[in-house]
Amino acid sequence: MSDVRARAQRARLASGLLGRASLERRNEALRRAAAGLREARPALLAANAEDLTRARALLDAGELDASAYQRLKLDAPKVEEMARGLEALASLPDPLGRVDLHRLLDEGLVLERLTVPLGVLAVIFESRPDAAVQIGALAIKSGNAALLKGGAEATGSVGVLVGLLRAALAASGLPEDTLQLLHGRAEVDTVLGLDQDVDLVIPRGSSSLVRSIQARTRIPVLGHAEGICHLYLDAAADPAMAVALVRDGKLQYPSACNAVETVLVHRDRAADLLPALVADLRPRGVELRGCPRCLALDPSLAAATDADWDTEYGAPVLALKVVDDLDGALAHIRRHGSGHTEGIVTGDPEAAARFLAEVDAAGVYHNASTRFADGYRYGFGAEVGISTSRIHARGPVGLEGLVTVKYLLRGHGQCVADYTGPQARSFRHEDL
């Protein structure tokens, strides 16, 4: 306990140094890490092969699922992709020191608000070893320290990757304590209790990981437990567009958080859109589950249960429901949506305007695939995660989710007493 806390406190000191280091130096560390990664590729792939051997045994014993095993695997193209990701991050503008308020409070009394690092992050991720590089690099760029805990099955790969990042920091004259590995669940539990020493927890993994972390800490958690996204096919939906957007939302990457789980269909369009959806999706292997009104139209559908409306399938399964109208769609989304991304397909501008205004979610879309909800697609250059919280950051979060602000006030001896009482001076409040 006290050891982990001491490490978190060293991380804070490291963040202070890193946050005051020049952009050039932070970028140098990222570029050195990219070069180091390419050089160390054989050692990295060897460590990864050992992880895979151990994971294979777990897989065979039924203690690891096949997708986690797949995500664990690194190869030469993935290493190159990681190296390029580091270089791309180095070319992004500095998230630190941005002045977003510069105000003359009174003659010679100048207020400035600028971005500074949050401080200390705790990052808990599952089997993908590249998450260590991605989030470690985001931390370096934004002047934050990070305590990193990867999945047990990726220990060897993550150890090599974090070692490379630390070596790049040291070679650039920056503190190695910026990135520290946590070992074992007990250390994670300790960190989750350090609400004075850790500023933000970033879980990267399944919704059950996120929920379990949210339940165990008072530290703010950036992310989302669930992405239950809806696409509402309105009375005025173009049929070809409706089918294409459902197909993209469901099948382009079914395990993504921004994939569509439930399609709501206006009752006046059920008779033409349901058959079109079935004809398009069933041959592509999508399992379709319908509400009673859907089943009345197409008895070949499986019957959806109440649980379906609250399930993130993460798989080629789609729930279908007929609603009376836009209000019915809004009510369903209010009750079952997770505040992630919701879409309407319609040619009716009024229906679109109401949907965009009334749906309360991080992203609300008109005639576009929910799969666009992503930091890269939004043009942020880097993605910390997607937040369904309303506090601090909402939606896809770029580097600006890893900074806070600090107010600087420069004067020449001004006292508040001079601005109070009958002879009070007035503030000027002029933006500079």
**Residues in touch with its own copies (CB under 8 A):** 16, 20, 103, 105, 109, 111, 113, 116, 118-119, 199-200, 214, 218, 220, 238, 240-241, 244-245, 247-248, 252-253, 345, 352, 356-358, 360-369, 371-373, 377-379, 390-392, 394-396, 404-417, 419-420, 427, 429
Which is nearer to its own copies, 105 or 209 (by Cβ)? Answer: 105
Query: Amino acid identity of 29?
Result: A
Which is nearer to its own copies, 1 or 101 (by Cβ)? Answer: 101
18 in Cβ contact with 144 (< 8 Å): yes
Q: How many residues does the chain have?
A: 432
Which is nearer to its own copies, 181 or 260 (by Cβ)? Answer: 260
Cα(75)–Cα(42) distance, integer angstroms? 10
Residue 81 vs residues 11, 77, 85, 88, 136: alpha-carbon distances, Å: 28, 6, 6, 10, 15
Q: Which two tokens stand for residue 325?
A: 């109208």
Residues pairing with 101 in the sheet: 113
Local structure of 307: helix, strand or coil: helix
Which is nearer to its own copies, 220 or 328 (by Cβ)? Answer: 220
93 in Cβ contact with 115 (< 8 Å): no
- Closest distance to its own copies from the beta carbon of 62 (Å): 33
Local structure of 271: helix, strand or coil: helix
Which is nearer to its own copies, 176 or 374 (by Cβ)? Answer: 374
Cα(1)–Cα(11) distance, integer angstroms? 15
Which is nearer to its own copies, 106 or 298 (by Cβ)? Answer: 106
Residue 13 vs residues 16, 17, 119, 319, 392: alpha-carbon distances, Å: 5, 7, 9, 50, 23
- Closest distance to its own copies from the beta carbon of 279 (Å): 18
Q: Which two tokens stand for residue 116?
A: 């500074």
